[in-house]
Amino acid sequence: MRWPRYLSAFELDAMFRALPDQTTIAPVTVSGFTQYKTHVSDLPASESAKIDAVADAIVTSYRAGRHPIIGVLIVGHADQDLSRGVAFEQEISIERAECVREALLSSLQSRTGAGLMPLQVKEAAVRTAGVGATQRVVTHPINEAQRAQNRRVVLYLAESITPVVPLDGFFPVPPQKVEDEEGAAPASPRPQRSPLLLAFSIPIFGSPALAGAAVFASGQPRRPSIKHDHGFLDDGKGNIDPSKRQSPTDTDRARKDVWKFLLGLTIQNKPELKDATDAYKHFLVDNNGTQLTVRYEGFVKDDANGKTVLKSAIDDTRTGVLDIFDSQFPKPLTSAARTLLQVTSSAVTVGRATPDFRYPYPADENWQKAIGGHALWISADAIIDSAPGKLRTVAITMTLHAEDMYNFNPDGADIATNTRDAENGRFEIVGLGTEFLQIGTAQRTITFTIPNAKQADNRVVPADQKVT
C-alpha cells in the first residue's frame, strides 16, 4: 500500500511495522557479506551498487508527478552461529543494517546537490532493525555460498499516496515562522501571504540608524499596528477566509485523538517543553480561541537567543530615550532638574533573518514551539536627573510587549521533528483546533550615568550601566 506523505510519530511507527508486508516497491536485498563482516566496503561491487541504486530511486521519486519514497526500513540478517549464540547473531545483524544505512545516507547526500531537493529527500524517514538468524534464506546451509545468502540486508521502501506537486518557487526560510512571521518583511515576495507588519527604519534623532531596530516616540504606551496571519485560513491579505472552512470527518476526529495522545505523552515525559505543550493544548484541547498569556520572562531569561533579544531591546530603549531627551534639551542644563519621559516604540520582529540578527529566532525547542517568531514592541518610563557640572543619572523602566498568533502555516514544518504544519493546519480548517493570540511581557530597569551634554552616539553602552 501507499501512505500519506506526512505522518505523525504514531503513524510512522505503524507504517514501519507494516512495511515488510505492505510495500508497493520490490524490496532490495544486499548480500555477499563474508563471515563476521559488516561493512559495505567488504561487499562485492555489484552488491554495494544496489545501495546507490536505492539512493537514485529515492531522489528520482521526489520529482514532480512521482510518488515520493517517504520511508526506508533497513533490516539486517545473520547466518546461524552455534558457537557464539543468538545474542551475537542479533548484534551483527543490527551492525550490518547500520552500515548500509550510513552508506545510503552518504549516497543520498552526494546525489541531491543544493536547492530544494536535499530538503525534500531529507523528509524520508530511515530506520534500521536486526532480526539475527531468525529469517534465514537457507535454513540448513551446507556450504559457504549458502551461508553467505543468509548474511544480508534487506531494504523496504514506503511510497507516498500523494504525488509531488510542482512548486512555483522555493525560498530558504527556516522551517517555522521566521521571515514571514508577524513583523517581517519577506526576503522575496511570496504568493498568498498577508501583507505583514513593517518596523520603522528611519532615525528620529541623531544616533546612527540600525535597520529593523525599535524606533521610539514620546508618549504613553501605545501598541503599534501589528497584522497577524491566519495560517491555513488566511485569504492572502491577512484576513480569515470563511470559504476555506470544512466540516470534520471521522478521519479528522481520529487524527485529533492521536495528537491528543501524543500531547499527553509529551506533557508526562518532557517537562522541559511545558510552555510549548501549554500553547498546543490551548490550540487543540481548549479549542476556544481565547487569548493566552505566555511566560515571556522565561524566554528572555532562559533561552540563549532570548537573552540576545533582551540585550537588543535594552540598547534600542536606552538609545530611544536619550535621543528624545536630546531633542527636547539640545543644550546642557544650567540648573538642577528632573525630567520624566514616557516613550513607546514601533514593532520589531523576533526571528527575522534580515537585516541583522539582533532579534534572533528562539534557540530552544520549547520556545520555538511555544512562540517561534513573533512581534515585539517596547514602552518605557524614564527619570533623568541633571545638574550643572555633574553627571546625569538616568533610570529607565522598560516593558517588552510580545505577541504572536498561534497557528500553523502552509509549507511550514516543525524544526525539531520536521512534522509538517499541514498535520495540524487541517484542524484549523475543520474546527478541531483554533488559532489564538498569545501575549507576554518582561520588565527591566536600566540605570547609568552620562555627561551633562548631548552625546555623539547614544548607542554607546555606558560603562556603569546596570540592568535589574
- The model's pLDDT over 189-206, given as tens digits with 9 standing for 90+, comes to 322 222 222 222 223 334
Is the pLDDT at 124 greater than 80, yes or no?
no
pLDDT tens digits for range 268-321: 888 999 999 999 999 999 999 999 999 999 999 999 999 999 999 999 999 999
pLDDT at res. 147: 92
Measured between alpha carbons, how far is 439 from 223 in angstroms, rounded to an integer?
12
Please report the pLDDT score of residue 200 as a whole number: 26
Residue 51 CA to residue 29 CA, distance in Å, equals 9
Contact yes or no for 467/312 (Cβ under 8 A): no
Judge contact between 373 and 176, C-beta under 8 A: yes
Does residue 289 come out as left (phi exceeding 0), alpha (psi in the -120 to 50 range) or beta?
left
The residue behind cell 546461524 is 80
Whole-number percent of the chain with pLDDT over 70? 81
Q: Which residues are 447's β-sheet partners?
A: 395, 466
- pTM for this structure? 0.58
22 phi, psi to nearest 5 deg: -130, 20
Class for domain 9-159, per CATH?
Answer: alpha beta
pLDDT at 120: 57
Q: How far is CA 36 from CA 45, 101, 150, in A?
A: 18, 18, 12
**Helix (H, G, I), strand (E, B), or coil: what is residue 7?**
coil
Residue with cell 552461529: 81
pLDDT tens per residue, range 16-63: 777 677 777 889 999 989 998 999 998 999 999 999 999 988 888 887
Domain ranges of the chain: 9-159, 216-467
